[in-house]
Amino acid sequence: MRTQVAIIGGGPSGLLLSQLLHRIGVEAVVLERQTRDHVLSRIRAGVLEKGMMDLLRQAGVDDRARREGLPHDGVVLSYDDDRVRIDFAEHIDQPVTVYGQTEVTRDLYDAAEARGTTVLHEVSDVELHDLDEDTPYVTFMHDGQEKRIDCDFVAGCDGFHGVSRKSIPDDVRRDYEKIYPFGWLGLLSETPPVHDELIYANSGRGFALCSMRSPHLSRYYVQCRLDDRAEDWSDEAFWAELKRRIPSEFAEKLVTGPSIEKSIAPLRSFVTEPMRWGRLFLCGDAAHIVPPTGAKGLNSAASDVHYLFEGLSQWYRDSDAEGVDRYSERALDRVWKVERFSWWMTSLLHRFPDQTDFDLKMQRAELLYLRDTPAAQEALALNYVGLPY
């Protein structure tokens, strides 16, 4: 098999890249380890930056997101009952859009099927070859047979545990990582959201987040221990703990109900450098991970897709290697700024096991500074809605 770009990973970043390439006449084949149903069963965040929405429009797959997504013009941060609303419309005149990552992936799958893109599911034993040559290729097992794809470039969109990052030699790659000493216990329920905007809460009992997927589907989180198990938390215990952590104004009107899904996610910050080696380019979780505070995971992957698509467009349309050669530099410049914001939000809103009384006073002072300082609110709004590409 021969294609121009072999894309490893059939999640939203890989599918988005393939859709963008298709629209300029560049062929791509997508390899995915799981089934389509498994990919679409993953529960992920759903706050889309303006840049992500613009990319979906550029790819021709934004109709449902714009029709069904919920525009948000602000977000609420609280410390016990002290709170501040960050007004996106006032400070930067741009909203975010609440639209589930699963729905983004579904829209991209539908578009791939409509255009006849080759997406191979349940592939295994993927290996990347000759990445530092002009003629890379990929071998893998599919339907019980060993297969090979020859290509011009390989896009590694296969996540933290995928083969792509590990294909960069150890003496070339450098990893940076911070593991946080807690996780998030998340609960999905068919209940109306407690508020029409997201609430990020810091309390004496730890962090909590009130989010939503739709006017009738809510997603809530509480900070938990790393050794907690989701099955040890009853729905009743979760709701009781959530009410203790959010401002009383919201706790009093919280509508509870049976959980649809309950899970625990650990938190980490991670970046690998470089994001390009030879003909291999890393995108999304294959290159970097942010804690979910601030909703930057999918959005930072989208910015990688933007820079890579720009570089490949220059290559195929203009025979110009500048964008390809500078992909890692451009992507990493934005990645580290996004990492900073997610780290800052996480540090501001969570309780750490080694915090001193001084540290707690600094957290409260930071929130009060945000409440009283328009310039600080503007900086938070700019980062939350999304730094420009």
Q: Which entry of 292, 306, 327, 350 is annotated as an active-site residue?
A: 292
In the set 72, 195, 288, 350, the catalytic residue is 72
Distance (Å, whole) CA 279 – CA 151: 9
Told to judge if 95 belongs to the known catalytic residues of this protein, a careful annotator would answer no
Cα–Cα dist 352/191, whole Å: 31
Residue for token digits 């900073």? 340
Give catalytic status of residue 200 as yes or no: yes
The answer to whether 306 is a known catalytic residue is no
Distance of CA 24 to the CA centre of its chain: 26
Spatial distance between the Cα atoms of 70 and 113, rounded to a whole number of angstroms: 26
**What is the sign, positive or negative, of the torsion defined by CA atoms of 211, 212, 215, 217?**
negative
Q: Which residues contact 112 (CB under 8 A, 6 or more apart)?
A: 15, 18, 19, 30, 119
Is there a catalytic annotation at residue 22? no
Options 109, 137, 180, 200, the catalytic residue? 200
58: phi then psi, degrees, rounded to nearest 5? -60, -35
Q: Which is catalytic among the residues 79, 180, 327, 384?
A: 384
Residue 38 known to be catalytic: no
Partners of 214 in beta bridges: 217
Q: Specify the 3-state DSSP secondary structure of 324.
A: helix
Tell me the residue ranges of DSSP E strands in the chain. 5-8, 28-31, 47-48, 70-72, 74-79, 82-87, 96-98, 118-120, 124-129, 137-142, 145-150, 153-156, 174-189, 199-203, 206-214, 217-224, 259-273, 276-277, 280-282, 288-289
Report which secondary-structure segment, H or E, holds 58: helix 50-59
List the catalytic residue out of 296, 307, 327, 350: 296
C-beta of residue 99 within 8 angstroms of C-beta of residue 65: yes
Catalytic positions, written as ranges: 72, 200, 292, 296, 384
